[in-house]
Structures are given as structure tokens and as C-alpha cells.
């Protein structure tokens, strides 16, 4: 038995901001030599370096710097029953657990990265944000809730999160938003990105939807069109 004078035990969640070291990869010339900066957010269970290699067509025929930040939470993709981990590692931007705190940390991280890069850009350079799959959802939330305002936003391979789109519509008025997906992409079924593009256009955003022949993947031809280096579909 416990004494009436024994303090009652309470379990509570608390938070402490700490310093983290974030990793990002770059492809292209130094920031002071570029006409266009792209910040590209990878999908769930991906790593930034491999993702960036798939974006090479985005930098063709133009002085472009492509930067791929890596999500702050990495994990082993497979774990055997004996507890041994596979060699494959991925990263994730958010989970359901403690979501708001993780989102705030990520927004601070991405805003600081943009500020560091933008400070070195030459006059007249444009800034684009591209997100693929889970990275597209994070890109939408970044534009809606962060300090960074790009000239162009590309959301690829996902029906954008409904909670972020009002903020995207408000902040991207008069700017470009492109929603892209394969015509066989199960995560962006037919009609979804088209409806989102129409809704954004009604709010004054220069929005359009584009489909390509394929599934849940990046498409070199669509990347070249984004970069202005290829014909429209």
C-alpha cells in the first residue's frame, strides 16, 4: 500500500529542442553560377543521393543547381527475425508519432537550407521546389507553413494533402504550381491532381496538371519539360 502523502506519479510528454546535423546533396555548379535553383524532396524510404541521380534531366540545357536534402529520420528497410538489419536504408519526413514537433523541426531545417543557398545565388536566379511522393506532401506543407516562397512548386506522384493546400493557394498566387503523375500511378488516381489544379487556378495560382505514360516514378521527359529543355506532351 502507498501512503496518502506519496506524490502521485504522472507520465507526461515534454519536448527539448536540440542541434541536429542534416545531410544534403548537390548536383550542378556553385550557387553563384546558376540561373535556377531546385530544392528536391525525396519520397518515403529513399535517400537523397540516389534520388538526386534520378533528377539529372532537370539540369540539362540550363545552368541549374539541384539540391536534395535528406529527411532527418533514417531507418533500416528490412530486419530479419533474428534481429539482423539489411544493408538498405531509407529516410522519412514524417510519421504519425509526434507529428507536429517533427514538422516544425523539418520546416526550420528546410528554411535554413534555402536561406543558405539563396544567399549565394546571383541576381535574377529563380527558385523551384520539387517533391516526389511523400516528399511532395512535405513540399506542400513547407510552402504552406514555412518561410520559403519559391517561384515554382512541383508536386509529383501524390494527391496533395488537403490540410496544406489552402496555404499553398494563398502563398502561391501568381506563381507556378505543377502537379505531375503517371497515368498508372496508384497514389495519384485519375482526376485527383486535375481537380487540385483547377481549384488552385480558381484561387489565382498558375496551376496545371500533367500526366505521363508510367506509374509511381520520376519521368525523364517530364523533368526535361520542367527545365524548359523539352517539348510539351
- For residues 11-20, average pLDDT: 91
Q: Residue 1: what pLDDT?
A: 52
Q: Are 34 and 125 in contact (CB under 8 A)?
A: yes
Give percent of the chain above pLDDT 90.
Answer: 76
Interacting residues of 156 by C-beta distance below 8 A, sequence separation 6+: 130, 131, 132, 133, 136, 179, 180, 181, 218
- For residues 79-88, average pLDDT: 76
Cβ–Cβ contacts within 10 Å for residue 176, how many? 17
Write down the mean pLDDT value for the chain: 92
232 pLDDT band (50/70/90 cuts)? Answer: very low
Q: Residue 120: what pLDDT?
A: 86
- For residues 178-206, average pLDDT: 96
What's the CA gap between 204 and 52, in Å, rounded? 31
The per-type count for the chain, helices as H runs and strands as E runs, is: 6, 9
227 has pLDDT over 80: yes
pTM of the model: 0.92
pLDDT in tens, 118-155: 988 888 899 999 999 999 999 999 999 999 999 999 99
Q: Which of 8-12, 75-79, 82-86 has the lowest mean pLDDT?
A: 82-86
Q: Residue 230: what pLDDT?
A: 41
186 has pLDDT over 90: yes
Q: Are 130 and 156 in contact (CB under 8 A)?
A: yes
79 pLDDT band (50/70/90 cuts)? Answer: confident
Q: Bridge partners of 89?
A: 76
Binning the chain into helix, strand and coil, the percentages to the nearest 5 are: 30, 25, 45
Q: Are 206 and 176 in contact (CB under 8 A)?
A: yes
Q: Residue 231: what pLDDT?
A: 42
105 pLDDT band (50/70/90 cuts)? Answer: very high
Amino acid at each position: 500500500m502507498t501512503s496518502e502523502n506519496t506524490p502521485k506519479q504522472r507520465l507526461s510528454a515534454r519536448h527539448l529542442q536540440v542541434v541536429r546535423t542534416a545531410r544534403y546533396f548537390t548536383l550542378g555548379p556553385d550557387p553563384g553560377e546558376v540561373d535556377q535553383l531546385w530544392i528536391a524532396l525525396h519520397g518515403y524510404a529513399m535517400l537523397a543521393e540516389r534520388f538526386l541521380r534520378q533528377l539529372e534531366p532537370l539540369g540539362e540545357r540550363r545552368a541549374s543547381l539541384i539540391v536534395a536534402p535528406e529527411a532527418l529520420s533514417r531507418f533500416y528497410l528490412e530486419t530479419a527475425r533474428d534481429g539482423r538489419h539489411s544493408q538498405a536504408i531509407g529516410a522519412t519526413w514524417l510519421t504519425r508519432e509526434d507529428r507536429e514537433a517533427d514538422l516544425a523541426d523539418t520546416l526550420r531545417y528546410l528554411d535554413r537550407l534555402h536561406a543558405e543557398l539563396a544567399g549565394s545565388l546571383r541576381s535574377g536566379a529563380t527558385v523551384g521546389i520539387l517533391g516526389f511522393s511523400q516528399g511532395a506532401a512535405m513540399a506542400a506543407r513547407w510552402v504552406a507553413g514555412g518561410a520559403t516562397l519559391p517561384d515554382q512548386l512541383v508536386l509529383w506522384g501524390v494527391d496533395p494533402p488537403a490540410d496544406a493546400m489552402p496555404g499553398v493557394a494563398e502563398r502561391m498566387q501568381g506563381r507556378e504550381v505543377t502537379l505531375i503523375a503517371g497515368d498508372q500511378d496508384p497514389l495519384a488516381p485519375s482526376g485527383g491532381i486535375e481537380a487540385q489544379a483547377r481549384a488552385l487556378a480558381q484561387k489565382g495560382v498558375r496551376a496545371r496538371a500533367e500526366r505521363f505514360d508510367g506509374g509511381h516514378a520520376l519521368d525523364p521527359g517530364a523533368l526535361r519539360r520542367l527545365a524548359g529543355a523539352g517539348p510539351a506532351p
